[in-house]
Amino acid sequence: MSITATMVKELRDASGAGMMDAKKALTETNGDMEAAIDWLRTKGLAKAAKKSGRTAAEGLVGIAVEGGVGVAIEVNSETDFVARNAEFQSMVSDIAKAAVGAADMEALKAADLGGRTVEAVLTDKIATVGENMTLRRMVRIEGETVAAYVHNAVSEGLGKIGVLVALKGADNGIGKQIAMHIAATNPASLSEADLDPALVEREKAVLTEQARESGKPEQVIEKMIVGRMNKFYEEVTLLKQKFVINPDLTVGKAAAEAGVEVLGFARLAVGEGIEKVEEDFAAEVAKTAGL
């Protein structure tokens, strides 16, 4: 397979590796991007975390909680100018409240919002503002109680990162602390049992190859893998992570000491996974002004 300059650039952006290392990784893996990242990690030439999750679009996350139900939505806009507009913020807040009674995205689009559907309200706002907007995601969780936290809040329930935490038991303030922890650490799952098996196998394969690079016997490598996988679980699963409020405890232990059980969580960050063409500030102003 021919390795193009575009492919090399994409891999460099995702891994932080040098140009020649990126090209060699793609050559060795026949152009498979994920396999190339794993190859670079095995050789110690890339960071474990890819950059593809960075915020790359504008808009807001809105959250709403009623009793034991919590919802978070993401509405994207083309520019931050629109995201800071009071009318846009009011619309996102209203959509979040409407989402409490919706089972999924299709139900939310059809939900009533002042006598019109949510989808119609969004379409009208696009026509009025002259900028594309998208109701991109909705997540819903339930528990005996639901705690919420918004990071970089522009007003109540609106910001760049929204977190919901479902609890079993009476929340005495631990819920918001855990939500703040999730905003900061972005865990992959609640526990080891909830992790995507493909993610686990991929990590195990990378760690195995790294261990074999050391030249140690297979029986030693097996023990190394067990230890490294346990460390991996401590890094990516919420209940095993060190609690940012008190690093002497895991999140699971802190919740237990507070008399609650964490049933689940949801975290939305504006623009996760969306690629955005970078523009200079003058171009963004010109676009917004319709020039």
User: Each residue of 79-109: pLDDT tens digit?
Assistant: 888 889 999 999 999 999 999 999 999 999 9
The pLDDT of 244-255, averaged and rounded, is: 96
Whether 180 is in a domain gets the answer: yes
| Neighbour tally for 101: CB within 10 Å | 13
Per-residue pLDDT at 52 exceeds 50: no
Alpha helices in 237-289 (DSSP H): 251-257, 281-288
51, 73, 91 — which closes off a domain?
Answer: 51
pTM comes to 0.74
Whether 132 is in a domain gets the answer: yes
| Confidence (pLDDT) at 154 | 94
Q: What is the CATH number of the domain that holds 45?
A: 1.10.8.10
Nearest CA-CA partner of 251 in 229, 266, 235, 267: 235
Nearest CA-CA partner of 174 in 111, 227, 252, 231: 252
Q: Are residues 124 and 17 in the same domain?
A: no
Give the residue, 14 or 6, on which the prediction is more confident: 6
Per-residue pLDDT at 172 exceeds 70: yes
Whether 217 is in a domain gets the answer: no
Measured CA to CA, the distance from residue 34 to residue 289 in angstroms comes to 40
Q: According to the per-residue pLDDT averaged within each range, which of 42-46, 50-54, 165-169, 273-277 is highest?
A: 165-169
Whether 223 is in a domain gets the answer: no
The least confident of 9-13, 24-28, 238-242 is 9-13
| Confidence (pLDDT) at 161 | 97
Q: Are residues 47 and 80 in the same domain?
A: no
Q: Are residues 40 and 147 in the same domain?
A: no
Distances (CA, A) of 217 to 178, 211, 220, 230: 42, 10, 5, 20
Distances (CA, A) of 91 to 132, 140, 270: 14, 19, 16
Q: Are residues 144 and 183 in the same domain?
A: yes
| Confidence (pLDDT) at 101 | 95
Give the neighbor-by-neighbor strand order of the sheet with 145-151.
145-151, 161-168, 261-269
| Confidence (pLDDT) at 275 | 62
33, 51, 69 — which closes off a domain?
Answer: 51
Q: Are residues 31 and 140 in the same domain?
A: no
Whether 246 is in a domain gets the answer: no
32, 51, 70 — which closes off a domain?
Answer: 51
Which residues are within 8 A (CB) of 1 and not within 5 positions of it... i.e. 6 or more apart?
Answer: 30, 31
Measured CA to CA, the distance from residue 115 to residue 52 in angstroms comes to 39
Whether 172 is in a domain gets the answer: yes
Which tens digit of pLDDT belongs to each residue from 139-161? 999 999 999 999 989 999 999 99
Q: Are residues 97 and 36 in the same domain?
A: no
Q: Are residues 1 and 70 in the same domain?
A: no
The pLDDT of 184-206, averaged and rounded, is: 92
Q: Are residues 111 and 179 in the same domain?
A: yes
Q: Are residues 117 and 185 in the same domain?
A: yes
Q: Are residues 71 and 15 in the same domain?
A: no
Would you place residue 64 in the very low, low, confident or very high pLDDT band (cuts 50, 70, 90)?
A: very high
Range of the domain at 41: 1-51
Nearest CA-CA partner of 15 in 52, 54, 56, 47: 47
Q: What is the mean pLDDT of the chain?
A: 87
Whether 239 is in a domain gets the answer: no
Q: Which helix (H) or strand (E) holds 147?
A: strand 145-151
Q: Are residues 147 and 70 in the same domain?
A: yes
| Confidence (pLDDT) at 53 | 38
| Confidence (pLDDT) at 21 | 85
| Confidence (pLDDT) at 46 | 65
Q: Are residues 20 and 73 in the same domain?
A: no
Q: What is the CATH number of the domain that holds 156?
A: 3.30.479.20
Whether 233 is in a domain gets the answer: no
- Report the number of distinct structural domains present in the chain: 2
